[in-house]
Chains A and B, each alone.
Chain A
Amino acid sequence: MRREWIPFWHSGLSPHSGDVDLLFIGLLIVSSLVLGLLFFLMATFCVRYRASNQIDRGHQTAKSWHWEVGWTAASFVGFLALFVWGAEIYFQIYRTPPDELSVFVVAKQWMWKVQHTGGQSEINALHIPVRRSIRLVMASQDVIHSFFIPALRLKHDVVPGRYQDLEIEVEKAGHYHLFCAEYCGTEHSGMTGEIVAMEAPDYAAWLATQTPETPLAQEGGALFRELGCSGCHGTGSKIHAPSLDGLYGRPVPLSDGSTVTADDKYIRDSILLPRSQVAAGYEPLMPSFEGKVSEDQLLRLILYIKSLGGRHP
């Protein structure tokens, strides 16, 4: 298996990795200059003012105020510049991804389970087309994991109990390491995989060969009936429950007077903790599905509800 290995520098592997590498080089230069200056001064002083060397030691710099203010200000200004530089790229890396092509990643001890919207699923591998912005929706089934692709200079923790969006985009086809970077138990170092970036036609071909079972949304629909959701939320139900058609992405007025947007998180919370945010005008009747549905199934349900139409941000 060929793996692209780019240790320090590769511009243009992803939209931000080049910027991060440039930042790294910048930091490296600044630190080398400071370190060089310091070592030069120390070495010079140590040689020149060694005890055995008879040299003029008079006129010692007594008043230190100017020096102090000088190097304090210089360090501060230098640090400030680095801070701004780093912060700017950080905000680009973690910007809210466009909802274009979503892939779902479930982390659990000790594997990465990836699900494509078409129903293809893979373990410890993620196939993506190149030069397309992909939105990863990540969830953890158990402990904290961290999704880390060193070649893209990209990492984000996956904390249980919440969804994490992350945008990735690869410019160049190849195989890249995927690591779990947050210690997660016995086989932590075995929780690795690879990102396979492919040209669009290759990707389409790959998708086709992956026996597309049923699309996730469709599986979600099956679950929807299996778990009995349709009994109340289905059309023609006798129980007064909100209809889910066209719900996704729309604002939902709640019984406590506030309003939330029906996004992934809201739907997830409504399934697991149905009584925490009750839609206005409805009785809090729904039972909790906590412990009854896995993260995988949750993703399918969400996709199903999404497929019922709605506004896509």
Chain B
Amino acid sequence: MPNRPAFAPQYVSTRHRDETAELGMWVFIATEVLLFGGLILAYCVFRHTYPEAFAAASRRTEIAIGTANTAILLTSSFLVACAVDAFTEETRKICVALLAGAIALGLLFVLLKGVEYAGEYREHLVPGIDFSFDDKFANGAKLFFLFYFVATAIHALHMLIGISLLAVIARLTWRRAPTTRHRAALHSVALYWHFVDAVWIFLFALIYLPGRAS
């Protein structure tokens, strides 16, 4: 096809294409919100039913790792936001470095999560596998840790997807001159990354903080 334009035939211009892509990502995030929403609803129901058990179970979580992970994730989001800003011909290298930093922090998060899981396994806190907890709160704690593992595992899966997407963008940016198409892609991936970050902030508050106030 001669003079094939830079954008697919259903678009009028590159700008039209990029804005459409961004809208697509927002709609996708709406879907994701409801995915975690269903889970958090279940959490609320059981926390309301077993407040003391949830507090007791929450006190057994590793708040040090949780807090560190929150800081790590917020920092990585900051780096990604900077990378979006640095996405120009002149500052291409900086952009790649920032993305690499964000990826490293993301991997660190997942690693710490793994350490946390291992610790919980050793302390018999995995429901269904040799679970043991103070008898008084055993049932509520089981529900709490079910939520904990399901929610954090799904979140970690999102992290891994996000890390892969960031890696693809970083590689593209490294190898080729920036185009508007890549900018749009980076923009969408950054949105996704910030969303995953925001979800963690909710999970952090729900998992680590109950029973720790006062």
Q: Taking the complex as a whole, does A directly touch B, i.e. does some CB pair lie under 8 Å apart?
A: yes
Question: Chain A residues in contact with chain B, CB under 8 A?
Answer: 256, 273, 275-276, 278, 284, 287-288
In the complex, whether B139 has a CB less than 8 A from a CB of chain A is: yes
Q: Which residues of A contact B52 (CB under 8 A)?
A: 256
Report chain A residues within 8 Å CB of B136: 275-276, 278, 284
Chain B interfacial residues counted at CB < 8 A = 6
> Nearest 5 pairs between A and B by C-beta?
A275-B136, A284-B136, A275-B135, A273-B139, A288-B135
Q: Which residues in B have their C-beta under 8 angstroms from that of A278?
A: 136
CA distance A275 to B136 in the complex (A): 5
CA distance A273 to B53 in the complex (A): 13
Q: CB-CB < 8 A to B135: which residues of A? A: 275, 287-288
Binary flags per residue of B99-135, CB closer than 8 Å to A gives 1, else 0: 0000000000000000000000000000000000001
> Within the assembled complex, what's the spacing in Å between the Cα atoms of A275 and B50?
12
Which A-chain residue is minimally distant from B140 (CB atoms)?
A276
Q: Which residue of B lies closest to A287 (CB)?
A: B135
Residues of B within 8 A of A256 (CB): 52
Smallest Cβ-Cβ distance to B139: which chain A residue:
A273
- Across the two chains, which residue of chain A brings its CB closest to B51? A256
Shortest Cβ distance from B212 into chain A, in angstroms? 19
CA distance A278 to B136 in the complex (A): 10
Which A residues are CB-close (under 8 A) to B139?
A: 273, 276
12 A-B residue contacts at CB 8 Å? A256-B52, A273-B139, A275-B135, A275-B136, A275-B137, A276-B50, A276-B136, A276-B139, A278-B136, A284-B136, A287-B135, A288-B135
Which residue in chain A gives the minimum CB-CB distance to B135?
A: A275
Residues of B within 8 A of A273 (CB): 139
A164 to B38, CA, bound (A): 27
A273 to B137, CA, bound (A): 9
Q: CA–CA, A276 to B136, complex, Å?
A: 6
A273 to B140, CA, bound (A): 11
Q: Tell me which residues from 50 to 65 in chain B have a Cβ below 8 Å from any Cβ of chain A.
A: 50, 52
Measured CA separation A300–B52 after assembly (Å): 31
Complex formed: what's the CA distance from A275 to B135 in Å?
7
Closest to B53 in A: A276
Residues of B close to A275: CB separation below 8 A: 135-137
Within the assembled complex, what's the spacing in Å between the Cα atoms of A123 and B137? 37
